[in-house]
């Protein structure tokens, strides 16, 4: 694929990702009024695994994976999905959802740092500028939400842990045999979700039985929202994300996805009345500028 085609495809996928993931964040507090974080994630992940594997089979894709891929797949799944799903959910209920999304999407900064420390991966001047502009936008929003972080430091910590886990898992995908393996994206997403679901389902089951094993059926609204999160942000969103990772370097893919917290900020303002003023608008402009710099330049390929 030449650079122009890669750019167009990456932009289209990033737009889809921003929409399905960005509108997802304000929904977490609504669901977790009636469900624990662990139960919510266990249910949505099991539904996602079932749907993705069914889709793969309907497409005629084999679910069998060569043995040599499993260690990397497990490492990526536990960092990219298990850590991310739990830490991000806790962050979203402890601090405003838009602010939690911003912390989670510091991922490209951590990805660039880890890649440099572990593999001495060089960054171009263009990418340094993109990271600086993206960091400035995130910094503005963190500064604006400093009071929320001070009141709930655990929420801020969870947001950063989510970002680091996501960065580490994405780098595993890019730096191991999984990169360029030719595995179907749906199959790759399904198995990672299945692996990550194991410890989460185990903790949810332990929590359920330790609290007496009583079943309290959530409201219809909570069930509908849970189903939506499982089918759209988790099924569709993760397939789109793994497709983006296949197209772009990890830190570039992550930097491109900083549009997601911008959508989360807008959604949070509409759903929960979270702050949206000049500082947030400037931060959004920084995000778009960083994305424009980070994506591959136009040119013949």
The answer on pLDDT for 301 being more than 50 is: no
The answer on pLDDT for 253 being more than 80 is: no
The answer on pLDDT for 234 being more than 80 is: yes
Per-residue DSSP letter, 69: G
How far apart are the C-alpha atoms of 109 and 104, rounded to whole Å?
A: 11
Average pLDDT value for residue range 9-36: 88
- On whether residue 109 sits in a domain, the answer given is yes
With CA atoms as reference, report the closest residue to 218 among 36, 28, 93: 36
Burial 226-252, CB ≥16 within 10 A → b, else e = bebbbeebbbbbbbbbbbbbbbbbbbb
**Most confident of the ranges 25-34, 81-90, 123-132, 166-175:** 81-90
The answer on pLDDT for 248 being more than 70 is: yes
How far apart are the C-alpha atoms of 50 and 226, rounded to whole Å?
A: 15
- On whether residue 300 sits in a domain, the answer given is no
CB-side exposure of 112: number of CA atoms within 13 Å? 21
> What pLDDT score does 190 carry?
95
- On whether residue 201 sits in a domain, the answer given is yes
- On whether residue 44 sits in a domain, the answer given is yes
Average pLDDT value for residue range 240-251: 81
Domain coverage including residue 97: 3-294
What is 98-160 written as a DSSP string? HHHHHHHTTHHHHHHHHHHHHH-----HHHHHHHHHHHHHHHHHHHHTHHHHHH-HHHHHHHH
The answer on pLDDT for 1 being more than 50 is: yes
Q: Which position has the higher pLDDT, 132 or 56?
A: 56
Domain count of the fold of the chain: 1
> For the segment 47-72, what is each residue's pLDDT rounded down to a tens digit?
999 999 999 999 999 999 888 999 99
- On whether residue 50 sits in a domain, the answer given is yes
| Burial category of 143 from C-beta neighbours within 10 Å (exposed 0-12, middle 13-18, buried 19 and up) | exposed
- On whether residue 45 sits in a domain, the answer given is yes
- On whether residue 42 sits in a domain, the answer given is yes
- On whether residue 301 sits in a domain, the answer given is no
The answer on pLDDT for 251 being more than 70 is: no
Tell me the percentage of the chain whose pLDDT exceeds 90.
Answer: 37
The answer on pLDDT for 298 being more than 70 is: no
Tell me the percentage of the chain whose pLDDT exceeds 70.
Answer: 94
> For the segment 9-19, what is each residue's pLDDT rounded down to a tens digit?
888 898 899 89
Q: Which position has the higher pLDDT, 182 or 167?
A: 167
How far apart are the C-alpha atoms of 270 and 264, rounded to whole Å?
A: 10
> What pLDDT score does 183 carry?
87
> For the segment 181-232, what is each residue's pLDDT rounded down to a tens digit?
788 999 999 999 999 999 999 999 999 999 887 878 889 999 999 999 999 9
Per-residue pLDDT band at 162 (split at 50, 70, 90): very high
List Cα–Cα distances, 130 to 91, 164, 169, 296, in angstroms.
Answer: 26, 19, 22, 12
Q: Which position has the higher pLDDT, 244 or 162?
A: 162
Token digits for 80?
A: 């990219």
The residues, any chain, with a CB within 8 Å of residue 149's CB and separated by 6 or more, are: 95, 99, 142, 155, 156
> What pLDDT score does 252 carry?
72
> What pLDDT score does 73 carry?
93
Per-residue pLDDT band at 29 (split at 50, 70, 90): confident
The answer on pLDDT for 20 being more than 70 is: yes
Confidence (pTM): 0.84
What is 15-56 written as a DSSP string? HHHHHHHHTTTTHHHHHTTTS-HHHHHHHHHHHHHHHHHHHH
> What pLDDT score does 2 carry?
67
Q: Kindly report the three-state secondary structure assignment for every residue of 232-286.
A: HHHHHHHHHHHHHHHHCCHHHHHHHCCHHHHHHHHHHHHHHCCCCCHHHHHHHHH
The answer on pLDDT for 299 being more than 50 is: no
List Cα–Cα distances, 275 to 144, 207, 254, 288, in angstroms.
Answer: 9, 35, 25, 20
Per-residue DSSP letter, 79: I
Q: Which position has the higher pLDDT, 189 or 106?
A: 189
With CA atoms as reference, report the closest residue to 182 among 83, 265, 57, 65: 65
């Amino acid at each position: 694929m030449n650079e122009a085609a890669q750019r167009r495809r990456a932009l289209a996928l990033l737009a889809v990702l921003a929409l399905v993931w960005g509108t997802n964040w304000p929904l977490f507090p609504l669901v977790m009024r009636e469900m624990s974080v662990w139960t919510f994630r266990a249910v949505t992940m099991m539904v996602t695994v079932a749907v993705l594997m069914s889709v793969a089979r309907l497409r005629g894709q084999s679910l069998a994976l060569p043995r040599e891929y499993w260690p990397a797949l497990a490492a990526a799944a536990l960092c990219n999905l298990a850590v991310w799903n739990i830490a991000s959910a806790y962050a979203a209920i402890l601090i405003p959802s838009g602010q939690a999304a911003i912390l989670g999407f510091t991922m490209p900064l951590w990805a660039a740092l880890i890649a440099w420390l572990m593999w001495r991966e060089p960054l171009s001047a263009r990418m340094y500028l993109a990271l600086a502009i993206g960091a400035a936008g995130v910094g503005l929003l963190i500064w604006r939400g400093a009071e929320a972080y001070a009141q709930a430091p655990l929420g801020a910590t969870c947001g950063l842990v989510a970002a680091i886990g996501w960065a580490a898992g994405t780098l595993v995908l890019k730096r191991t045999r999984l990169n360029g393996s030719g595995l179907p994206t749906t199959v790759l997403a399904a198995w990672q979700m299945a692996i990550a679901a194991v410890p989460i389902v185990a903790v949810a089951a332990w929590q359920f039985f330790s609290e007496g094993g009583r079943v309290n059926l959530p409201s219809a609204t909570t069930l509908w929202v849970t189903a939506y999160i499982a089918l759209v942000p988790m099924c569709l969103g993760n397939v789109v994300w793994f497709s983006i990772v296949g197209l772009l370097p990890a830190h570039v893919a992550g930097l491109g996805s900083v549009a997601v917290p911008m959508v989360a900020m807008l959604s949070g303002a509409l759903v929960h009345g979270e702050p949206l003023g000049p500082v947030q608008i400037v931060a959004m402009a920084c995000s778009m500028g960083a994305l424009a710099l980070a994506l591959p330049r136009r040119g013949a390929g």
